[in-house]
Amino acid sequence: MAKTIGKDEGATAQARSFETVIGSGGETHQIAGADGEVLTTQQGVPVADDQNHLKVGERGPALLEDFHFREKIFHFDHERIPERVVHARGFGVHGSFTLTESLGDVTTAKILTEVGEKTPMFVRFSTVAGNKGSADLARDVRGFAMKFYTKEGNWDLVGNNIPVFFIQDAIKFPDLIHAAKQEPDRGFPQAQTAHDNFWDFISLTPESMHMVMWIMSDRTIPRSLRMIEGFGVHTFRLIDAKGKGTYVKFIWKPKLGLQSVLWNEAVKINGADPDFHRRDLWDAITMGTPPEWELGVQLFDDDFADAFDFDVLDATKLIPEEQIPVRIIGTFVLDRVVDNFFAETEQVAFCTQNVVPGIGFTNDPLLQGRNFSYLDTQLKRLGSPNFTHIPINAPHAPVANFQQDGHMAMRNPKGRANYEPNSWDGPRESPTTGYKHFAAEETGRKAQVRSPSFADHYSQARQFFISQTDIEQKHIGDALVFELSKVERVDIREAIVGHLRNIDGKLAQTVAAGLGLKALPKAAKAAVQTRTDLPASDALSIAKQAKHSFEGRKLGILVSDGADAAIVTALIDAVGKAKAVYEVITPKVAGATLDDGTLLEAKQKIDGGPSILYDAVALVLSADGAAMLSKDKTAKDFVADAFGHSKFIGYTADALPLIDRAGIAKEDMDEGLIALGGKPDVARFLKACGEARLWARELSTDLDAAAFLAPADA
């Protein structure tokens, strides 16, 4: 009898204590058994028939007397709440934060001073522009919002995977989002900025150009939510027991490192699995490999703020880590999925104003506007000022106040007094433990103005661009050409290239050439001339922070009947040692029988498991299997896409005909294609996979590489 290598047998169906019976009209009823749960109405009334509406006769009119029907339909009709205007598509998970280094010298916040304290938290990842039904791999900023259930109340650190933003003042936020979302007369495009309205707005808003460099980079098409950084964006304050303030920026770094996909790959992933990021995070947690991040801070005082080249209150600017290194103060792990998506992920409410004693705000005008807007939006979405009564939003710390009534109030003050001060009883303020705002001295005339210190819109954009490796710079150019090629108005395209000239001349030329512009447009008028003395920062590059590890990644193993069992076993063992995962793809989802008679179960049929879903692939085929798959377009796409996306490909000798039929000529085979003849080859292959991609291949195969590699005009 053949042995089987296959899926975990732990996912067995739960036993059901229900009995299925057939009703008098032929309908099916699930009758609760001795241990079964009885179906009831919302009022707790047992339901006898959940299949049929109450009627007059078998074919007669339905009766409104059927209160179970009315309640069921009533609730169904009101299931949906308004989706978020931005960050509508999100995915939330639970975790915990552990402090490893105290900041007791600069703050009273217990979550930042009590080393070893484990604080429960909830994190919601999201995209910004698309609606709830959009795909995961849109080119977009990723929201990274964290709710810490501290002993002193909830602290919401509402961040992104990018440390800067498009605008400097919150009054422009509605305009930015209106421009980025689908155009109002046609309702498309969905979840993408490649259209006239967005780039028209950007062309008229030069303060956005630093953010444009980030969103056109690989940061906005991440390989996994487990592989993104997080940033608080704004400058906040930490406040000590004496009321002294210290400026702080929050940054969190993934232990798995950073990784992204290619744009062509992202487009195809959205078709093959629009839930790619959700599924990836769910699988990692449920398989017992929860992702972790290190939480860090950049701390500085007024002297640094005054001497820094840019205004620390400007949300379009960052502080390079080379100037103020990130001080790691703790770690957090996300290790529990939600019980119910709507109750938790959809109803969670983040507010930037939610801070605890010892954490405060600055005069960043974007932050000040967010503090108003986030609270305001919860009333619209969740329908009541009592949204903190929803369990996912409820503090774990005790709550005591005189706020009362309103829709869905789950708690109200007890006793006679519902006001303060009173001479009865109830909670009282505490000057010793209560929240104290930073005592800042403010002077100035009342006016609608923008500080001149906010006026340099290009210098840090240039710094970001020159910090990238060659291939990352190429991807930025590719992205700009793609996005602007979807813009119908030539004058808007030209205006953006004019802004790019203030950032990098070669980038501007590359984009102009990619768009086929007849002449290079004039540089945009700059309020402040671009500084060219700012040094490159390795922390701004994904490639320069590479972990050189395959941990947390996924190998796709394409297998046919008669394939070499020893190679398959060696691959599976090597993947496990690398703390990675694998999926087997076969011509039929039932699996493949290897050359030793072993039945290898499959996770995917070749049609449903394209190579875009994997970080690297291995082709373990027999001669007959390769001959069969060489006739299949999907199998040829599997290999061609992996090669075109610069992935490492392991292959057995019998797989060569499929490689050839996929359009990869013998002379095109490079060091990224690794022959698998035995265990040493498998080890070499897995080590190579830790480099993520063979970028040299893209520079030799992509048509756009020629323009990128050409020298800039003098």
pLDDT tens digit string along 580-634? 999 999 999 999 999 999 999 999 999 999 999 999 999 999 999 999 999 999 9
pLDDT higher than threshold 70 for residue 272 = yes
Mean pLDDT across 493-509: 98
User: What region does 320 belong to: left with phi over 0, alpha with psi -120 to 50, or beta?
Assistant: beta
pLDDT higher than threshold 70 for residue 651 = yes
Computed over every residue of the chain, the mean pLDDT equals 93
Confidence of residue 414 (pLDDT cuts 50, 70, 90): confident
* Gap between the Cα atoms of 411 and 399, Å rounded: 10
Q: What angle do CA 363, 365, 370 make, to 5 degrees?
A: 105
Peptide bond connecting 657 to the previous residue in cis, omega within 30 degrees of 0: no
Mean pLDDT across 335-349: 97
Mean pLDDT across 1-17: 50
What is the pLDDT, as a whole number, of residue 714?
35
- Identify which has the larger pLDDT, 64 or 289: 289
* Gap between the Cα atoms of 527 and 103, Å rounded: 39
pLDDT higher than threshold 70 for residue 27 = no
Closest by CA position to 148, among listed 169, 173, 120: 120
pLDDT higher than threshold 60 for residue 96 = yes
Confidence of residue 707 (pLDDT cuts 50, 70, 90): low
- Whether residue 148 contacts residue 157, with contact meaning beta carbons closer than 8 Å, is answered with yes
- Taking CA atoms, 357 is separated from 103, 433, 707, in Å, by 13, 8, 55
What is the pLDDT, as a whole number, of residue 12?
44
* Gap between the Cα atoms of 255 and 389, Å rounded: 34
Q: How many other C-beta atoms lie within 10 A of the C-beta of residue 680?
A: 10
Closest by CA position to 206, among listed 512, 519, 498: 498
For 435-451, letters b (16+ CB in 10 Å) and e give beeeeeeeeeeeeeeee
Mean pLDDT across 530-542: 97
pLDDT tens for 664-690 read: 999 999 999 999 999 999 999 999 999
- Whether residue 228 contacts residue 258, with contact meaning beta carbons closer than 8 Å, is answered with yes
Mean pLDDT across 229-243: 97
What is the pLDDT, as a whole number, of residue 9?
43
Per the DSSP assignment, residues forming a β-bridge with 581 are 554
Active-site annotation holds for 94: no
* Gap between the Cα atoms of 253 and 230, Å rounded: 7
Q: Is the dihedral of CA 658, 661, 663, 665 positive or negative?
A: positive
What is the pLDDT, as a whole number, of residue 34?
59
- Whether residue 464 contacts residue 210, with contact meaning beta carbons closer than 8 Å, is answered with yes
Question: Exposed/middle/buried for 517, CB within 10 Å: 0-12, 13-18, 19+?
Answer: middle
| The two three-digit tokens of residue 74, written as one number | 């009533």
Active-site annotation holds for 407: no
Closest by CA position to 646, among listed 617, 619, 675: 617
Q: How, if at all, do strands 554-559 and 604-605 pair?
A: unpaired
Residue 90's Cβ-side half-sphere holds a number of Cα atoms within 13 Å equal to: 29
Provide the percentage of residues in the chain whose pLDDT is more than 70.
Answer: 94
pLDDT tens for 295-308 read: 999 999 999 999 99
* Residues whose CB falls within 8 Å of the CB of residue 594, separated by 6 or more in sequence, listed in order: 559, 561, 562, 563, 564, 565, 568, 600
Q: What angle do CA 553, 554, 556 make, to 5 degrees?
A: 155
| The two three-digit tokens of residue 694, written as one number | 């063979």
Show the DSSP H helices in 364-504 as ranges. Answer: 365-382, 459-466, 470-485, 490-500
What is the pLDDT, as a whole number, of residue 13?
46
pLDDT higher than threshold 60 for residue 7 = no
Show the DSSP H helices in 53-161 as ranges. Answer: 67-77
- Whether residue 303 contacts residue 63, with contact meaning beta carbons closer than 8 Å, is answered with no
User: What region does 441 belong to: left with phi over 0, alpha with psi -120 to 50, or beta?
Assistant: beta
* Gap between the Cα atoms of 433 and 626, Å rounded: 71
Catalytic residue among 154, 160, 161, 393: 160
* Gap between the Cα atoms of 395 and 359, Å rounded: 17
- Taking CA atoms, 203 is separated from 207, 325, 485, 489, 500, in Å, by 10, 34, 15, 12, 10
pLDDT tens for 354-390 read: 999 999 999 999 999 999 888 888 888 998 899 999 9
- Identify which has the larger pLDDT, 25 or 122: 122
Q: Which residue do the tokens 């703050």 mark?
A: 107
Confidence of residue 700 (pLDDT cuts 50, 70, 90): confident
- Taking CA atoms, 5 is separated from 288, 388, 647, in Å, by 20, 49, 26
Mean pLDDT across 422-426: 88
Q: In this structure, what DSSP letter does residue 346 have?
A: I
Q: In this structure, what DSSP letter does residue 225 have?
A: G
State the amino acid at position 273 in one-letter form: D
- Identify which has the larger pLDDT, 445 or 98: 98
327's enclosing H/E stretch is strand 327-337
Domains detected in the chain = 30-79 (4.10.91.20), 90-163+221-393 (2.40.180.10), 461-543 (1.20.1370.20), 548-691 (3.40.50.880)
Residues in the chain: 714
- Whether residue 362 contacts residue 352, with contact meaning beta carbons closer than 8 Å, is answered with no
pLDDT higher than threshold 60 for residue 483 = yes
Q: What is the pTM of this model?
A: 0.93
Catalogue the E-assigned strands of 39-195: 90-99, 118-127, 142-150, 153-160
Q: In this structure, what DSSP letter does residue 170 have?
A: G
Start-to-end CA distance of the chain, whole Å, equals 74
Which DSSP string corresponds to 571-628?
HHHHHHHTT-EEEEEESSTT-EE-TTS-EE--SEEGGG--GGGSSEEEEE--HHHHHH
Helices (H) and strands (E) in the chain, counts: 20, 21
* Residues whose CB falls within 8 Å of the CB of residue 14, separated by 6 or more in sequence, listed in order: none
